[in-house]
Amino acid sequence: MAVRVISSVVGALIFIAVFLGGLLPLKIGAAVISIIGMFELYRAVSGKLKPVHFVGFAAEIWYVFMRENCDMMLNGFMVLAAVIVLLILLIAQHEQTDIHDVSITVFGFLYVGMLMYNLVDLYKIAPYLIWLPLICAWGSDTFAYFVGVKFGKHKLAPVLSPKKSIEGSVGGVIGAGVLTVVYFLVCDRLGFIPEENGAPPVTVIGFAIGAVSAAFSQVGDIAASTIKRQMNVKDYGNIMPGHGGILDRFDSVLFTAPMIYILLNLVSNGH
């Protein structure tokens, strides 16, 4: 327990420093976390598949630092170049590399690299939003755990995640909704949320975003558990003692960040 607590505190201090440092440190942090997460995923599947690591990592670096500075034609060329490199490797190393290896390489980038970048997208909308995916994901985990321990009777996913219960899942969704409302009220009080005519109350928006995002965070958690179960691995890594790897802590955040981004854009365009 002590190791887990110390790891949490150190991790939190690092994340706070990165998130408060501005856009460039945030991009660097997102790239580092994403590449570590991709490496963990590639390593987890290495017993059955052989991902092309350098293509996935290069794609992530380009996506984080170069994509927004390039026009559509150059971005299209980079995607084409990545596909051509993978196909050339498929031909040149046809006895060692097959289509499944190529596919997991692309999947690792889409699943970890692209989804993680939504943290940066949220920061660009408003810096205070960077904390929202963490609040929704980890708040949902916390409420789901305690509600599940107290009231859990019906298994949510008996084979894939036997410790999760339907009651805990519902508690996690409601708890994350309440936490998001509280966070929005605090941010509104501090003047972070601009007043917009015709916009729904922050309490309504907050609960809806928190609840929906929490539901998707649980999908992300179970999806990551499914991969581990299929690959017969316990944790994705041990970079965070007591917690496991980056993916073990951010599997739910990978789903909350893009969902919050989508929901905020729907709300913004809906009034």
Percent with pLDDT over 70 in the chain: 93
Residue 1 has pLDDT above 90, yes or no: no
Q: Which stretch of 52-56, 90-94, 138-142, 193-197 has the lowest confidence by average pLDDT?
A: 193-197
pLDDT at 5: 61
CB 36 within 8 A of CB 246: yes
**pLDDT, average across residues 20-49:** 92
Report the predicted TM-score, pTM, of the whole model to 2 decimal places: 0.89
Residue 196 has pLDDT above 70, yes or no: no
DSSP state of 154: S
Q: Which stretch of 11-20, 141-150, 246-255 has the lowest confidence by average pLDDT?
A: 11-20
pLDDT at 3: 60
Those residues with Cβ within 8 angstroms of residue 53's Cβ, 6 or more apart along the chain or in another chain: 38, 39, 42, 105
For Cα atoms 65, 70, 72, give the angle at the middle one, nearest 5 degrees. Answer: 130
Residue 183 has pLDDT above 80, yes or no: yes
Rounded CA-CA distance 173/209 in Å is: 10
> C-alpha distances in angstroms, 74 versus 38, 113, 114?
24, 20, 18
> C-alpha distances in angstroms, 176 versus 82, 89, 182, 205, 256?
39, 45, 10, 13, 11
- Residue 75 CB neighbours (<10 A): 16
Tell me which of 100 and 269 has the higher pLDDT.
100
Tell me which of 18 and 26 has the higher pLDDT.
26
Give the model's confidence band at 67: pLDDT under 50 very low, under 70 low, under 90 confident, else very high: confident
Q: Which stretch of 40-44, 80-84, 87-91, 239-243 has the lowest confidence by average pLDDT?
A: 239-243
**pLDDT, average across residues 122-128:** 92
CB 40 within 8 A of CB 227: no
**What is the dihedral angle through the alpha carbons of 162, 163, 167, 170, rounded to the nearest 10 degrees?**
-90
Residue 27 has pLDDT above 90, yes or no: yes
Those residues with Cβ within 8 angstroms of residue 38's Cβ, 6 or more apart along the chain or in another chain: 53, 56, 57, 60, 108, 109, 112, 113
> What letters, b where the CB count within 10 A reaches 16 and e where it falls short, cover 144-181?
bbebbeeebeeebbeebbeebbebbbbbbbbbbbbbbb
The pLDDT tens digits of the residues spanning 131-157 come to 999 999 999 999 999 999 999 888 988
The pLDDT tens digits of the residues spanning 3-12 come to 666 666 776 6
**pLDDT, average across residues 1-27:** 74
- Cα 220–chain centre separation: 8
- Cα 169–chain centre separation: 18
Residue 37 has pLDDT above 80, yes or no: yes
Q: Which helix (H) or strand (E) holds 67?
A: none
pLDDT at 270: 62
